[in-house]
Structure formats: C-alpha cells, structure tokens
C-alpha cells in the first residue's frame, strides 16, 4: 500500500511569489491535514480537510489556504511569500479522523529567499 506522497520535495521561491504544494493521501483515507515545521515554532497545525470540506483551521494568516479534491488529494497554497514561511510542510493522512491515526508524508521543504 503506497504511503502519503508529497510533491515537490524541495522548493525555492522568492519573496512575494506564491506556491502550491501537493499531497496524495493513502488510498481510502479521507482526511488530510497540513502542518508547518520550523526550528523556532516547532510543528504547528495549518488545516484539516475531510471529504472536500475544511473541518479545522489553525492560527495562520489568510495567505495560507488549502483545498481537497474528490479523490482526497489535497493542495495547500501560500500567497505573497515571506521569509518566515520557510519551513518543512508536512501532510498527514487519516482514514476518518486524525485523532485515531495519522500517517505523514516526507514533507516539502520550502525555502523563501
């Protein structure tokens, strides 16, 4: 069974640009969550989608957005990039809800210059 796939693995963007990250969950999983990991703030929850609906959102500015498609694949978008957005972005896939079990992808390392 294939795991959670995140693409791309590495990304370099310039301040002010926007970026889209992709996450393909484990087959059959309907919940996808996104987390940001930085040395200073640690792992922080961005948002969670279930059956194309955002169920939960963390404390991030509106520049951070996401969506989920009918096949459960998810994308997150960051507009008007800032240097502080440099981070490892992790996607987690769960059958129904994350508080039973979450499987993480390898992450996308975003560097903003």
Provide the H-helix boundaries in the chain: none
Question: CB of 110: closest distance to another protein in angstroms?
Answer: 14
8: its two tokens: 């791309």
Transcribe 19-45 into DSSP letters: EEEEEEPPTT--EEEEEEEETTTEEEE
Residue from the set 21, 24, 29, 50 that interacts with another protein by CB under 8 A: 50
Residue from the set 17, 51, 54, 56 that interacts with another protein by CB under 8 A: 56
Q: Which of 79, 67, 73 shows the shortest CA–CA distance to 105? A: 73
Residue 82 binds another protein (CB under 8 A): no
Residue from the set 21, 102, 110, 112 that interacts with another protein by CB under 8 A: 102
Residue 60 binds another protein (CB under 8 A): no
Residue from the set 8, 12, 63, 101 that interacts with another protein by CB under 8 A: 101
Task: Quote the CA–CA distance of 24 and 12 in Å, as a whole number.
Answer: 21
Residue position matching structure tokens 């979450």 = 102
Interface with another protein (CB under 8 A): 4, 6, 31, 33, 35, 42-43, 45, 48, 50, 55-56, 58, 90, 92, 94, 97-107, 109
């Amino acid at each position: 069974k294939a795991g959670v796939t995140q693409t791309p693995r590495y990304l370099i963007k310039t301040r002010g640009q926007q970026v889209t990250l992709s996450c393909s969950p484990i087959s059959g999983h309907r919940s996808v969550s996104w987390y940001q990991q930085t040395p200073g703030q640690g792992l922080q929850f961005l948002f969670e989608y279930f059956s194309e609906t955002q169920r939960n959102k963390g404390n991030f500015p509106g520049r951070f957005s996401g969506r989920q498609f009918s096949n459960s694949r998810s994308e997150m978008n960051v507009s008007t990039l800032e240097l502080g957005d440099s981070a490892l972005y992790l996607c987690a896939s769960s059958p129904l809800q994350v508080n039973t079990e979450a499987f993480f992808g390898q992450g996308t390392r975003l560097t903003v210059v």
